[in-house]
Chains A and B, each alone.
Chain A
Amino acid sequence: MIPVTSVKTLPEAYALLQARPPGLRVLAGGTDLMVAINARVGLDRIGHVLDIWNVRELRGIALQDNFLRIGALTTYTEIIHSTLVNTQLPALAAVSREVGAWAIQNRGTLGGNVCNASPAGDTLPLLLAADARFLLGGPRGERTVVAEEFFLAYRKTALGADELLLRVDFPLPDAARLAYRKVGTRRAQSISKTLIAVRATPGLREVRIAAGCVAPIPLRCRRAEQAAMSGGDVRAALQLDISPINDIRSTIEYRRLVSANVLLQLLKNMGTPYSLPGRP
Chain B
Amino acid sequence: MKPTITGQPLARIDGHAKVTGAARYSAEVQISGVAYGVLVTSACARGRILAIETNDAEREPGVLAVITPKNALRLPDTKVPENDRVVQVLQDDRIVYSNQPVALVVAETLEGAMHAALLVKVHEEKEPATVRLDDEIKNAFEPEPQSASGKKSADQVRGDPARGLREAAMRIDETYQTPYETHNPLEPHATTAVWNGPDRLTVYDATQGVFGVRKKLAKMFALPTGNVRVLTKFVGGGFGCKGTPWSHVILAALAAKQVGRPVKLVLTRPQMFGMVGGRPLTRQRLSVGANKQGKLTALRHESVSTTSRFDDFLEPAASVSRHSYACENMATSHRLVRLDIATPTYMRAPGEATGGFALESAIDELAHALKMDPLALRLASYAETDPTEDKPFSSKSLRKCYAEGARRFGWAWNKRSPARADGMLVGVGMATSSYPAYFSKAEALARMLPDGTALVTSGAVDLGGGTYTVMSQVAADAIGLPMDRVRFDLGDSEMPEAPRSGGSQTAASCASAVLLAGRALRDKLVRMAVADAGSPLLGARPDEVLIENGRMTANGRTDSFADVVKRAGGAPVEERARAGPDEARKKWSLHSFGAQFVEVLVDPDLGHVRVKRLVGVFAGGRILNARLARSQLMGGMVWGIGMALHEETVYDEKIGRIMTRDLADYHVPAHADVQVIEPYFIEEEDVHVDPAGVKGIGEIGITGTAAAIANAVFNATGKRVRSLPITPDKLL
Contacts and interface: CB of A to CB of B under 8 A. Distances in A.
Interface of A: 1, 39-40, 43, 183, 185-191, 193, 248-251, 253-254, 257-258, 261-262, 265, 277-280
B728 interface: yes
A254 B672 CA distance: 23
Given A185-B667, A258-B732, A278-B608, A248 B672 contact: no
Contacts of A186: 645-646, 667, 669-670, 672-673
Interface in B626-675: 645-646, 650, 659-660, 664-665, 667, 669-673
Contacts of B135: none
Given A188-B671, A189-B670, A279 B422 contact: yes
Of the listed residues B115, B270, B606, B607, the one surrounded by the most CB atoms of chain A closer than 10 A to its CB is B606
Given A1-B115, A248-B650, A279-B422, A261 B606 contact: yes
Given A248-B659, A280-B601, A258 B672 contact: no
Of the listed residues B645, B728, B732, the one surrounded by the most CB atoms of chain A closer than 10 A to its CB is B728
Nearest to A249: B665
Given A186-B646, A186-B667, A279-B424, A265 B673 contact: no
Contacts of B673: 186-188
B202 interface: no
B607 A188 contact: no
Interface in B513-539: none
A265 to B, nearest CB: 6
Nearest to B114: A38
Contacts of B650: 248
B724 to A, nearest CB: 13
B222 interface: no
Given A185-B727, A250-B729, A254-B732, A262 B665 contact: no
Top 4 A-B residue pairs of the complex, sorted by shortest distance between their CB atoms: A187-B672, A254-B729, A261-B605, A188-B670
Given A185-B667, A262-B605, A277-B672, 7 more contacts: A43-B118, A185-B727, A186-B670, A188-B671, A254-B607, A258-B607, A279-B603
B639 to A, nearest CB: 14
Contacts of B665: 191, 248-249
Interface string B669-696: 1111100000000000000000000000
A43 B114 CA distance: 14
Interface residues of B, number: 30
Contacts of A1: 115
A77 B495 CA distance: 50
Nearest to B732: A257
B610 interface: yes
A258 B673 CA distance: 20
A254 B603 contact: no
A183 B667 CA distance: 14
A6 B115 CA distance: 20
Interface in B420-456: 422, 424
Nearest to A265: B605
Contacts of B669: 186
Contacts of A261: 605-606
Nearest to A261: B605
14 contacts: A39-B270, A40-B118, A185-B728, A186-B667, A186-B669, A186-B670, A188-B670, A190-B670, A248-B660, A248-B665, A249-B665, A261-B605, A279-B424, A280-B610
Given A186-B670, A280-B610, A191 B729 contact: no
A185 B646 contact: yes
Nearest to A251: B729
A39 B268 CA distance: 11
Contacts of B605: 258, 261-262, 265
Contacts of B732: 253-254, 257-258
A251 B732 CA distance: 11
A249 B646 CA distance: 11
B598 to A, nearest CB: 16
B707 to A, nearest CB: 20
Nearest to B661: A39
B224 to A, nearest CB: 42
A40 B670 CA distance: 27
A189 B664 contact: yes
A249 B608 CA distance: 14
Contacts of B424: 279-280
A249 B665 CA distance: 8
A68 to B, nearest CB: 28
Interface string B53-65: 0000000000000
Contact of A258 (B645, B660, B728): B728
A191 B118 contact: no
A257 B605 CA distance: 8
Contacts of B659: 248
A265 B424 CA distance: 13
Contacts of A185: 645-646, 667, 727-728
Interface in B555-613: 601, 603, 605-608, 610, 612
A185 to B, nearest CB: 5
Nearest to B608: A278
Contacts of A40: 118
B32 to A, nearest CB: 29
A85 to B, nearest CB: 22
Contacts of B603: 278-279
Interface string B265-300: 000001000000000000000000000000000000
Given A39-B270, A188-B671, A248-B660, A183 B610 contact: no
A188 B729 contact: no
Nearest to B601: A280
A223 B217 CA distance: 66
B606 A183 contact: yes
Contacts of B601: 279-280
Contacts of A258: 605-607, 728, 732
Nearest to B648: A248
B93 to A, nearest CB: 22
A250 B665 CA distance: 12
A137 B126 CA distance: 47
A224 to B, nearest CB: 16
Of the listed residues A40, A43, A193, A248, the one surrounded by the most CB atoms of chain B closer than 10 A to its CB is A248
Contacts of B670: 186-190
Contact of B729 (A253, A277, A279): A253
A20 to B, nearest CB: 25
A250 B422 CA distance: 26
A278 to B, nearest CB: 7
Of the listed residues A43, A254, A277, the one surrounded by the most CB atoms of chain B closer than 10 A to its CB is A254
Contacts of A43: 118
A191 B664 contact: yes
Contacts of A188: 670-673
Interface in B102-135: 115, 118
Contacts of A183: 606, 608, 728
Interface in B713-727: 727
B606 A262 contact: yes
A104 B725 CA distance: 27
Contacts of B115: 1
Contacts of A262: 605-606
A280 B646 CA distance: 18
Of the listed residues B601, B667, B729, the one surrounded by the most CB atoms of chain A closer than 10 A to its CB is B729
